[in-house]
Amino acid sequence: MAEHLVVIKLWTNQFSGNIPTILCKFSYLSILDLAENKLSGSIPHCLHNIADSTYMIGASADIVHISTKGKKLDYRVDSFLSFERGIVDLSANSFSGEIPEELVSMTKILSLNLSRNYLTGKIPKEIGGMKNLESLDLSYNKLLREIPSTISNVSFPAYLNLSYNNFIGQIPSGTQIQSFDSWCFLGNPKLCGDPLPKKCNKKEETHGSKVAEEDENDSFLKSLYLGMGVGFAVGFWGVCGSLFLVRAWRHKFFRWIGHLADQLYVALALYLKSFG
């Protein structure tokens, strides 16, 4: 059955267009490799369904070979193959837009490769929750802003590449991140700090802190405006709906409006008379 697919490897073809969202319905899918095609559009938010659970599948081969960035995985199986973590490789395509927060919220994913695309925006801070991530490649995109400090929560024993983007500010401190070579961060002229030879000055550190503060303020303001909008809509339609549906309330409301208008008219007449 197609819905029980575990591995999809369609790399190095001539596929074009968007990723079909039907892939998101494959609840058993653990490995998705669509690298080196001509796919475009945004990355579907629903791909977070990949590697959402642990399961066993039958296997006829003695060894299953799976290559991922910086690491080759060999699974030896007698009768069953266990997939506990997922691999997503969408590199060397023409994907655009931002990295979906849902994609970097997959806690069981082992390897994520989105390199050589046209992705924009910033790295979502949710990436810090990818505790099992061993390989991350976001190189050769158009990603912006600071590298989120939450990335320090991730252990990268195999591979990390954030080169040739538009990152700014200081590289987050963390023993794992600083252990990589400087080429992992090359091509980001406004990036500084270890392991790059360019050291950060106070101005760059202050700018980085300001950018992070602006991001937090933007999130707060968006939540505030959304809450105000929802509150106004609920209050407005609550009052108008009640007046429209309940005849007695409607009559009382218009009588109150008429009484208020009479009071204002009398008050205005008396005020004008005082000048006569």
Q: Report mean pLDDT in 10-residue bins for the chain, 276 residues.
A: 72 89 78 90 80 43 50 46 67 93 82 93 90 89 93 80 94 82 92 89 56 56 68 60 60 72 74 70
Q: Is residue 245 part of a domain?
A: no
Q: Is residue 248 part of a domain?
A: no
- Burial bucket for residue 11 (CB in 10 Å: 0-12, 13-18, 19+): middle
Q: Is residue 207 part of a domain?
A: no
Question: What's the confidence (pLDDT) of residue 250?
Answer: 60
Do the strands 118-120 and 63-68 form a parallel or antiparallel pair, or are they unpaired?
Answer: unpaired
Q: Is residue 251 part of a domain?
A: no
Q: Is residue 227 part of a domain?
A: no
Q: Is residue 6 part of a domain?
A: yes
Question: What's the confidence (pLDDT) of residue 257?
Answer: 74
d(CA 57, CA 198): 49
Q: Is residue 114 part of a domain?
A: yes
Q: Is residue 179 part of a domain?
A: yes
Buried b (16+ CB within 10 A) or exposed e, 16-26: eeebeeebbeb
Question: What's the confidence (pLDDT) of residue 73?
Answer: 53
Do the strands 55-58 and 80-83 form a parallel or antiparallel pair, or are they unpaired?
Answer: antiparallel
Count of structural domains within the chain: 1
Question: What's the confidence (pLDDT) of residue 113?
Answer: 92
CATH number of the domain residue 144 falls in: 3.80.10.10
